[in-house]
Structure 1
Amino acid sequence: MKRRQSREMALQVLFQMMLSGTDRKTAWEAVNEQDLPEDPFVDRLLDGISGHEKEIDQWIGRHLVNWSFDRIGNIDKAILRLAVCELLYFDDVPDTVTISEAVELCRKFSDEKSRKFVNGVLSSITRELLDKAER
């Protein structure tokens, strides 16, 4: 599975888990219409989010302008969690690729306002990470 497909699958699984409160296996089965084998990148993303959800949400919350975390729609929240997980814990994925892929997920699963919102939040997080790395 290509990484773009893996991100889409991870998003759908995460979204299913968020909405229904179901476990990963059940969510995977619910969204895996093509009966695809489990994917290491999907697992890596979902493991990263489940292991660091509180920290990921704090990063997102710190970079919201005139917005509260609770007001973010579920699909946008899931996209942000996936992307922030990559930004923080996936050194093998360039930040520009992560942001571009998140915007593509918004294009497919959300709307124009969400694309701008997600891009702005992720760009702000990336700037903070770069500032910290330069120190």
Structure 2
Amino acid sequence: MKRRTAREKALQALFQIDVSDIDKDTAIEHVLEEEEKKDPYLTKLVDGVLSHQTSIDEQIKSYLENWTIERIANVDRNILRIAAYEILYGQDADVPTNVAIDEAVEIAKVFGDEKSSKFINGVLSKIKNNL
């Protein structure tokens, strides 16, 4: 599975966990097509976001202006979490910060609304600039 696909599937799994409060293994199973087997990067993203969610959310909150993290659309919030995880904790995956941001913006164009990509780019750029 390509990393973009793994990110999209991770987004869908994290969205389900957020909305339906289901366990991660069930969420991952739901997003995989019947012929697909579990992908290590997909699992790493979901596990990583869930295990670091508190610190990731704190990072995101610190760069929000006139927003709370709870007000952010579920899709946008989880795109931010995945990219923030890759930026802050994904050094071993060899993902450059700019690639993590670009991927998040492109995924936001597909899954978010017309303002999502700009919003996500702005928040992630602030995280990058303050590393």
With normalisation by structure 1, the TM-score equals 0.92
* Aligned residue identity for 1:93: V
- Taking only aligned residues, the RMSD between alpha carbons, in angstroms, comes to 1.0
Higher alpha-carbon Rg: 1
Task: Give the unaligned 5+ runs of structure 2.
Answer: none
Runs of 4+ in 1 over 6 A off after TM superposition: none
Task: Say whether 1:113 aligns with 2:124.
Answer: no
Cα deviations across residues 14-47 of structure 1 (Å, max 9, x unaligned)?
1111110001121122222343110111111111
Cα deviations across residues 95-129 of structure 1 (Å, max 9, x unaligned)?
11000000011111012211111000000000001
* Aligned residue identity for 1:121: V
Aligned residues: 129
The structure whose residues are more often helix, as a share, is 1
Cα deviations across residues 74-100 of structure 1 (Å, max 9, x unaligned)?
000110000000000111100110000
> How far apart in 2 are the matches of 1:38 and 1:22?
18
The equivalent of 1:72 in structure 2 is: 72
